[in-house]
Amino acid sequence: MKVIEFCRYTKRNGAFVLNRLNFHVEKGYITGLIGPNGSGKTTLIRAIMNLIHPDEGEVRVFGQSYRERERDIKRRIGFVYDEDVFYNHLSVKEMKKIIASFYPDWQEALFQQYLHDFQLPEQRKIHDLSKGMRMKFALAAALAHEPELLIMDEPTSGLDSVFRREVLAILSRYIEDGNRSVLFSTHISTDLERIADYIVHIRNGQLMHCGSKEELLDTYVLVKGSAEDYPAYESDGKLLRSQQTPYGFEGLMSTADFANHPVRERVLSEKPSLDDILYYTQEGR
């Protein structure tokens, strides 16, 4: 089932264009949104939250259109943004009161449980919270109305690895019942390797991949060979991108091309990481 669906979605902003995007996010899974800086991840999330309006097409959430059901859709979404969006001069308790007032399904006991688990002091001012604590508060506030869809924009950037793992564990628990979904953007691909079921990969506003993480990882092969083997790979143009290493070369190519390559026995082939895919599919490398 589709929880988010982009239908020929086009948005132009100067030279940057999200161009006729057609893809969907599956219900009940964690979907990672990846792409290099400036690729359009945050724009895509703003589109899902209806913070920007399309030039053409539309985005449907829970099978509904923002044109008719904006309040209902947003009531079922929890959001965590990378940037400061709270009133920093307020305390955690005061800010919570404001957020809670917008959600009829607000679960105060659940929120208090998160505060306790995250060791967040209710009386502390938002501006006195560290980046990690602010993220914890944002997460607690986003989850306290038990949303069906959690949208997070770079939630783990700038956080230490211990807290990043805590966040990932929370997300894993959150989707356990199969009815809830998470979409989160990140440029820390190791986080996605740990928990994402599906990957949406965008670059320069273009959709590069939308499907399971395994499908994406199986699409490419990381090839490592000696300097003597490099001309054989470089000349046929099948190597998407490559770089010289002290031992020769390393590059990415499609699994199908590698399977048919005449000198494939002379090189090492590995399953790439998401980071490898991001790195080698980036333009200009």
Partner 1 sequence: MVQLLVKDIRIQQRFLVIGFVVIGIFFFALGAFEGLSLAVPAAIFSHFLIVVASKTDEKNNNGRMLASFPLLRRDIVTAKYVGILVFMMIAFLITIGWRMLAGIVFPANELPWWDVPSTVAALVLLLVFYAIYFPIFFAADSRIVPFLDLIVIMTIGGIVLLGMRMLEWLGMTSYISLQPISDMPIGIVSTGAICGGLAMLSLSWGISLYIYEHKSL
Decide if residue 38 touches partner 1 (CB under 8 A).
Answer: no
By CB under 8 A, residue 193 contacts partner 1: no
Please name which of 91, 64, 87 lies closest in space to residue 75, comparing C-alpha atoms.
64
Q: How far is CA 118 from CA 87, 114, 141, 177, in A?
A: 20, 6, 12, 22
φ and ψ at residue 199, rounded to 5 degrees: -130, 135
Q: How far apart are CA 232 and CA 180, in angstroms?
A: 48
**Binding flag, residue 146, partner 1 (CB under 8 A):** no
Q: How many CB atoms neighbour CB 169 within 10 A?
A: 12
Name which position in 86, 137, 174, 230 contacts partner 1 (CB under 8 A).
Answer: 86
User: Which of 7, 17, 52, 232 is the binder for partner 1 (CB under 8 A)?
Assistant: 52
In order of 3, 6, 42, the CA distances from 63 in angstroms are 7, 11, 22
- The tokens describing 11, both together, are 């948005």
Q: Give me the least distance between CB of 60 and partner 1, in Å please.
A: 17
Residue 155 DSSP SS3: coil
List the one residue from 1, 8, 38, 53 that touches partner 1 (CB under 8 A): 53
Shortest Å, Cβ 132 to partner 1: 17
| The only residue of 55, 64, 87, 259 in contact with partner 1, by rule CB under 8 A | 87
* 1, 8, 22, 51: residue in contact with partner 1 (rule CB under 8 A): 51
Residue 240 contacts partner 1 per CB under 8 A: no
- Of the listed pieces 30-38, 48-56, 220-228, 268-276, which binds partner 1 according to CB under 8 A? 48-56
The torsion angles phi and psi of 196, rounded to 5 degrees, stand at -75, 140
Q: Which of 9, 62, 79, 230 binds partner 1 (CB under 8 A)?
A: 79
Q: Given the rule CB under 8 A, which residues bind partner 1?
A: 13, 46, 49-53, 70-72, 74-75, 77, 79, 81, 83-90, 94, 97-99, 101-103
